[in-house]
Amino acid sequence: MYLCSAILVSQSVKIKEVISTLEQFAPLPLQESFDNAGLQIGLTEADVSGVLLCLDVTEAIVSEAIEKGCNMIVSHHPLLFHGLKQISDSSYVERAAVMAIKHDIAIVSMHTNLDNAEEGVNWEIGRRLGLEGSVTEGLFKGEFPEPLTAQEYIELVKKTFGAEVVMTNGLLERPIRRVAICGGAGAFMLQRAIEEGADAFLTGEMKYNDYFDHDGEIMISVIGHYESEQFTKELLKDIIDRGCPGIRTIVTEHNTNPIRYY
């Protein structure tokens, strides 16, 4: 149980205490070397007026936080992923940063550390599919109580994630019971999934050449980066609600997926 200490004595909770709760669940050392999880913008001694949960931080997200009286945004994807040499109005990242600073809004991101956490993003994807399993070194491995045909599995994936399309290699002829999962861009985990004996590998995006030479070995299912991680907002809300009860937490109304299907 991750509990904000301030809750025990009053209803006032500081931003730094919410950050502590998040980092107890998904410690920053779990993040990959290329990542930039944690505090992105803001002062942490302020009392929390509300927390807006989102997948990506955009200008629309910051505007929503302002409108709803939230002085803290918690996202999955970091706003500040690459170094900035200036902060102006030349990109959505810079504009969102300026807007957040002007309105005293703190931005915190839980990215690959949350992917790799024991009951983090990849575990949540598996839970939504009805798999029973666990996360080991960033890869979720789980099994269905009863095996599915390849077509049944595809239909379940589409329904669960509201995916308009699932990109696959050849449909597996044997039943699918064991599934390996890596949300987002997970091609680097494909070989590991094969070594773990998975019947299917689910991820958000992969390159063209990654699909070759695996027919009959493992069924690849790619549903889109946003689609694979869309439930992270609810996961973040649950972590804060359990750890800091009484804080106002709001899941964004905005779908920040920049990709459209026609």
pTM metric for this prediction: 0.93
Tens of pLDDT, residues 94-150: 999 999 999 999 999 999 999 999 999 999 999 999 999 999 888 999 999 999 999
Average pLDDT in the 16-35 region?
A: 97
Tens of pLDDT, residues 144-174: 999 999 999 999 999 999 999 999 999 999 9
| Strands in the chain per DSSP E | 38-41, 51-54, 72-75, 106-109, 132-136, 139-148, 167-168, 176-185, 200-205, 219-222, 249-251
Q: Is 162 exposed, middle or buried (0-12, 13-18, 19+ CB in 10 A)?
A: exposed
Tens of pLDDT, residues 35-69: 999 999 999 999 999 999 999 999 999 999 999 99
